[in-house]
Amino acid sequence: MDSHIENISKEAQKLGCSVETGAILKDYTTFKIGGECPLLVKLNGEESFLRLIPLAEELGVPYYIFGKGSNLIVDSDGINGVVFVSGKDFSELSCIDDNVIECQAGITLSRICLAALDKELAGMEFAYGIPGTLGGAVFMNAGAYGGEMKDIIISVKAMDRRGAVKRYSANELGFSYRRSRFTESGEIILSAEIRLEKGISAEIKQKMDKLMEQRRSKQPLEFPSAGSTFKRPEGSYASLLIEQCGLKGVHVGDAEVSTKHSGFIINKGNADFSQLMELIELVKNTVKEKTGYVLECEPLIISDKRERNDRR
């Protein structure tokens, strides 16, 4: 192990973080694609963020921050550097008042939805079943079924790469379609305040169950994926364009355009990074040639062979 990475590992263990050397990253992504990285650290609180991220910056060690790995495409050949996981070890939830809750970035959206249901708070139902963490959802302004994170977030606590912490109000977050200030700034989301509305438990649960059933019936949840593979182009829908181009069921190896929902590229078993990227390019090129629309990949692509993406 590189001496700088070893220093990060030792510091992480001092802070009580779980560490894993030679971690296989497909085990940390919903696509089930990804090779080895030298060190994976499960961050366990703000102190671990404040100490370890600036240390990696100081040492010049490449690093990425994963949540649940639900919006990532990771190279099967592995990546250099450190993967920091903001997950269940950083997932506390607390109530500030009757309809405002604060959650750490590693908490899953489904867990927040269930907590809101328990407290008879409405407004979070759209996120039930989105397979990600709060940090990733805020980062990309995740949304579904007419709701987006921008509708419920009232403030976000974040840190810069040097460890300076700041809380941003809603009007400073720069939310737009699948974007936020954090997609550009490189700041790391630590927690967020969510404002919901008083509701009726039975009605909230009914809506959650209805939306979950819609997901199951329309989306290929039985296969690994990163959710929607392409952002919605202005004036149309990626799934509609892909279907119109006759691309449903097209595959490269085990990477396939879902026959259930053409907006999803799925892993039918043993797809690897090269197969997935070849299929993504095939879809983009075909759609552009036949319709004129340019599709943009929604998941972040993490590979040492490509230009470095924003880390999160």
Give catalytic residues, as residue numbers: 178, 228, 298
Residues near 3 by Cβ (< 8 Å), separated by ≥ 6? none
Burial tier of 107 (Cβ tally within 10 Å: 0-12, 13-18, 19+): buried
Instruction: Please tell me the distance from the alpha carbon of residue 268 to that of residue 285, in angstroms, as a whole number.
Output: 22
CA distance 154 to 70: 24
CB 118 within 8 A of CB 207: no
Distance CA 264, CA 230 (A): 8
The distance between the two most distant Cα atoms of the chain, rounded to a whole number of Å, is: 56
Strand order in the sheet with 63-66: 18-24, 36-42, 82-85, 63-66
Tell which phi-psi region holds residue 146, choosing left (phi > 0), alpha (psi between -120 and 50) or beta: left
